[in-house]
Amino acid sequence: MNNTTETENICGLKRSDFQTTIGGKQTDLYILKNSQGNEVAITNYGGAIVAIMVPDKNGKHANVIQGHDNIQDVINSPEPYLSTLVGRYGNRICKGQFQLNGKVYHLPINNGPNCLHGGKRGYNAKVWEALQMNAQALVLKYTSPYGEEGFSGEVKVTVEYSFTDDNELVIEYMAKTNKKTVINLTSHGFFSLAGIANPTPTIDNLECEINADFYLPIDDTSIPTGEIRMVKGTPFDFRSPKPVGQDIDADDEQIKNGAGYDHCFVLNKAEEGELSFAAKIKEPVSGRTMEVYTTEPGVQVYTDNWADGYKGQNGATFPRRSAICFEAQHFPDSPNRPYFPSVVLNPGEEYTQKTVYKFGVSL
């Protein structure tokens, strides 16, 4: 079901440009539209969000997430995780190996010496079964077979996107396994609140607040050192709003290790698993805002440090640091850090996660 015709779409994307067959499975484009006339466009290839159309303080719509305008460009993107779902394990696992039940599991090495975002063909590169429930909700399903990318257990994953009348993009995840495994799912949205353009503006002037007293330092291969460090007195202190660019090139070992921000922030929580405020950004020119709420213990903040100006949708280009990502998740390399919150999923249990991206304007 796709009850929005192409002529009605303010994102300007054509459904036919996203339709192809991969391994016998159909790809497509799905448009969610709320009562305010705002839109979210998603393809079932990797669950990539290709458009979020929301107004600025003057009521002018723009796409505030980076994406492509056809399926081939999504598949062949220079940024393979561009606003996609990520799994089976979001973020990095040191040297692509971990131990579970006394057995050592070996994963593909695809990021320096480490495994990143589930391996060489993670959930971002899969065609998901899709069902649009109504004008505001889309359900994606994928069964990850036993041994896929080296992980144990067959895992059945369901992800539901809903776009509320309050301009909240709600992403809910559920997963079950038939054998003990590890799991860490997220959505890797590349947000550009100024609106994508040629070139898309830098995020340096974005005002950013992150509800975290601690963050995870990383080594020079972007693996957590194991320390949980206070943000106070460091470039990672976003407890009060400040421009993203203020300390992004600071003379700081952690900034250098991440080539900017590419770190997991330990979110302040009253209780484990509660849906609570994680972060907020405001774009000063357009007045657009985005708030992030999540049940997850952490959020990986990535400031698009490796983009090179590659081509996106409708003539837009994506230079270095033209987007910011808030990847709600468990901590990187958790399978090798027993004192991090557990990422183990057992048969009979259900993995759940909920993250909300709420869009607004500040005059």
Distance, CA of 26 to CA of 46 (rounded, Å): 12
Distance, CA of 322 to CA of 305 (rounded, Å): 9
Distance, CA of 172 to CA of 174 (rounded, Å): 7
- Contact partners, residue 329, CB within 8 Å, separation at least 6: 90, 91, 184, 185, 186, 264, 296, 298, 299, 300
Collapsed DSSP state (helix, strand, coil) of residue 167? coil
Collapsed DSSP state (helix, strand, coil) of residue 193? coil
Collapsed DSSP state (helix, strand, coil) of residue 152? coil
Distance, CA of 341 to CA of 334 (rounded, Å): 7
Q: At which residue do the structure tokens 């421009």 appear? A: 243
Looking at the DSSP assignment, which residues form a beta bridge with residue 93? 115
Distance, CA of 117 to CA of 151 (rounded, Å): 12
For the chain, the first-to-last Cα distance in angstroms comes to 37
> Which DSSP string corresponds to 2-41?
--S-GGG-TT---GGGG-EEETTEEE-EEEEE-TTS-EEE
Give the number of other CB atoms < 10 A from CB of residue 23.
Answer: 6
- Contact partners, residue 314, CB within 8 Å, separation at least 6: 12, 63, 69, 196
Determine whether 188 is an active site residue. Answer: yes
Question: Which residue out of 68, 117, 188, 263 is catalytically annotated?
Answer: 188
Determine whether 330 is an active site residue. Answer: no
- Contact partners, residue 92, CB within 8 Å, separation at least 6: 111, 114, 115, 116, 222, 223, 332, 333
Question: What positions carry a catalytic annotation?
Answer: 188, 327
